[in-house]
Amino acid sequence: MKILSDPALLYLLGGTLGLLIFASVAGWVLAKRATTDAARVTVANLNARTKAWWSMVAVFAGALMIGPVGTAVMFCFSSFMALREFITLTPTKPADHRTLFWVFFIITPLHYYFLATQWYIMFLILIPVYAFLFVPMRSALAGDCDRFLERTSKIQWGLMICVYCISYAPAILWVELPNWPDNRAKLLFWFITVVEMSDVMQYVWGKTCGKHKIAPTVSPGKTWEGFVGGGLTTVALGAALWWATPFSPLQAAVMAALVVFMGFFGGLVMSAIKRDRGVKDWGGAIAGHGGFMDRLDSLAFAAPVFFHATGYFFGR
C-alpha cells in the first residue's frame, strides 16, 4: 500500500490520530466535570462529534490505502448521500422520478467513472453541459409543466453542488504537478485537513469569543470573531504543514486562506437553503454532525477553486 511507504503521509495520519486521542480524553474529563445541564449538553455534543470524527477519519484513511480508485468510490458514495439529502429537503414531484433515476444511478456513477479512469474532458463537461441539458429534456417528456423551471433547477443545482463540486476533492489525486512528483494523497489530506479544521476552529472561536454576527438571519452561529480567529488559526496550520504540499510556507498560507474563504461561503450558502426549508441539519446520518451535506458544504465550494488554482499556478 503506497500510503504505508510515505513517511510524510504517515506523519499526517499520526498527527490526526493524536488529535483524536486528545479530544477523546478531554471530552471524557469534561464530561466528568460538567455540573450544569447546559454544560452536559455541550460536552455531549462535542463527544458525539469526536466519535463521528473517529469513523470519518478511519473511512478516509482506508480509502487512501486502497488508492485513488478507492478514494473516488468513497467520494461517489458521499456525493450520492449528499444528493439524496438535497433532493429530500428540496422536494420535487412524481413526474421527476425518472429524471432522478438517471441522476442518481447513471449520471453520478458515470461522472466518477470518468474521474477514476482519468477521462479529464468528460469529467469536466458531463454534468455542467450534458447533464444540464439532459435533465430538463427528460423532465419535459413527463408532461408536467407545474413549477417546471423550479423543479428542474433544483435537480441541476443538486448535481452541481453535491456531485460535480464535491468530486473535485478526489480529483486532487490526479492533478498534474510535474515539478512535484510526490504522492498526491498528501495534498488531498492537506486540503481536507484545512477545510475541516477551518469549520472546527471557526466553531470554537465563535463559541468562546463570538459577539458580532455576520449574517444572523442565515446562520446565527457565524460571527466575525469566529471567522477571523478560526480562519487565521487554520491559515497558520496550513502554512505549518507546507511540507505536505508543492507550496512554500507563504504559498501554503495563501492557499489555505483561499480554502477558508470559499469554505466559509459554502457553509453560509447551504445554511441559507436550510433556513429556507426550515431545518437545522441536512440529515442525521452522522451523529453529532447532522447529514453528509453538513460536513461537505464547505468542501463543495472550496474543492473546485483549490483544484484549479493548484493546477494553474503549480501545474504545467
Q: For the chain, what are the domain ranges?
A: 1-66, 67-174, 181-316
For position 4, what pLDDT does the model report?
A: 59
Amino acid at 81: M
CB of 276 closer than 8 Å to CB of 219: no
Question: Bigger pLDDT: 214 or 200?
Answer: 214
Dump pLDDT digits (tens) for 104-144.
Answer: 999 999 999 999 999 999 999 999 999 999 999 999 999 99
What would you measure as the largest C-alpha separation in the chain, in angstroms? Answer: 62
- Residues 137, 74: Cα–Cα separation, whole Å: 30
- Residues 267, 251: Cα–Cα separation, whole Å: 24
Nearest partner of 269 among 114, 126, 157, judged by Cα: 157
pLDDT reading at 146 higher than 80 = yes
- Residues 102, 209: Cα–Cα separation, whole Å: 47
Dump pLDDT digits (tens) for 253-270.
Answer: 999 999 999 999 999 999
Torsion angle defined by CA atoms of residues 149, 155, 160 and 163, in that order, rounded to the nearest 10 degrees: -170
- The per-residue DSSP string of 202-235 comes to HHHHHHHH--SBSSTTT-TT-BHHHHHHHHHHHH
Q: 192-224 burial string, b = 16+ CB within 10 Å, else e? A: bbbbbbbbbbbbbbbeeebeebbeeebbeebbe
For position 1, what pLDDT does the model report?
A: 46
- Which has the minimum average pLDDT: 61-65, 123-127, 141-145, 184-188? 61-65
Grid cell 478511519 — which residue? Answer: 58
Q: Is the dihedral of CA 247, 266, 12, 82 positive or negative?
A: negative
